[in-house]
Amino acid sequence: MAQVEERIREQVAEFDPAMHGYVAHAVESQGKRIRPALTLLTAHATGGISSGHVDLAVVIELIHLATLVHDDIMDNATKRRGAATSNARWGADTAVLLGDSLFAQALMLCTRFDTMEISRRVAAATKEVCCGEILQTQRRFDLQMKLPEYLRIIQMKTAPFFYVATELAAYLNGLPPEQVARCRHYGDCLGIAYQIYDDCLDLVGTEDAAGKTVGTDLERGKLTLPILHLLHHAADTERAAISETIVHGTEDDRVGLLALAVERGGLRESVAHIRRYLAEAQAALDFLPQTDHRRALEAIAGALAEHVGRLDR
């Protein structure tokens, strides 16, 4: 990971000097770096790390950081990882262009690979994330949303940068297509589980735990799994009252509704979904030999399961 961190910091110098402060702010708000970690661990578990794997990790992280800059604009978020967001510091206009610039730099790095397949799959994953965000925006305050639709949206908007990391790490090591697909499935399931967990943090988490502004989903009409569970199981008259609160309620009304969602089992149901996806992710690795790096991939899912367990206490 030290190589990846160094390479990410080196990207600042690739921009015009007038941009250095903006780019440094974006790339140094480190976060967990889970996607680069998945890239390198999958590489280790499937044959070893090459310089291409380090480049791939940097590409995926830069695009992820670009999407975070844009997410913060859409959510009017002011904090991420304890620091002011780019839009809070410099305004939405600058932040939009900063995100675009990070994405463009990632595309430049993609051209260094000998095969176009890396660019193709990274571009496909990025398009999927953007489409997922658009679909979620379209479905804001959509009280008719069903569970499969919610799961499809979060799969589109979050899982691609997980599965493209694990998929392409295996691909670069020359694994057969069916094993590359298994690595992709691990990342896909892990990404879905992570997003449901993130949605739950917005419900019951703190800014320190989430690393970003919390409590914004319901205010902005994003219907997460605990709220969908509450709507689905409410009687008709109560569902009408819940719907009214979602669309027209005050902040105090929304706080009460979130508490009701927890009380009615929405959080518990979400935790059950997360655990099922994590179990499926771990099962996808069964073809790999038992090495420290396979166990590390399994441990990532296990660590998320531990965090999830704390939510439902």
Q: What is the pLDDT of residues 48-63, one digit of tens each?
A: 999 999 999 999 999 9
Q: Which residues make Cβ contacts (< 8 Å) with residue 13, sequence separation at least 6?
A: 20
Residue 188: helix, strand or coil by DSSP? helix
Spatial distance between the Cα atoms of 173 and 30, rounded to a whole number of angstroms? 27
> Per mean pLDDT, which range of 117-121, 191-195, 309-313 is the poorest?
309-313
Report CA-CA distances (Å) from 201 to 224, 255, 302: 11, 14, 18
pLDDT > 60? residue 170: yes
Tokens of 240: 């009408």
Tokens of 148: 């499969």
pLDDT mean across residues, the chain? 92
pLDDT > 70? residue 212: no
Residue 208: what pLDDT?
59
**pLDDT tens for each residue of 237-274:** 999 999 999 999 998 998 899 999 999 999 999 999 99
**Residue of 156 and 254 predicted with greater confidence:** 156
pLDDT > 70? residue 162: yes
pLDDT > 60? residue 304: yes
Residue 85: what pLDDT?
92
Answering whether pTM is above 0.75, one says yes
Mean pLDDT score, 72-97: 90
Spatial distance between the Cα atoms of 86 and 22, rounded to a whole number of angstroms? 8
Identify the structural domains of the chain with CATH numbers, from first to last. 2-311 (1.10.600.10)
Residue 78: what pLDDT?
87
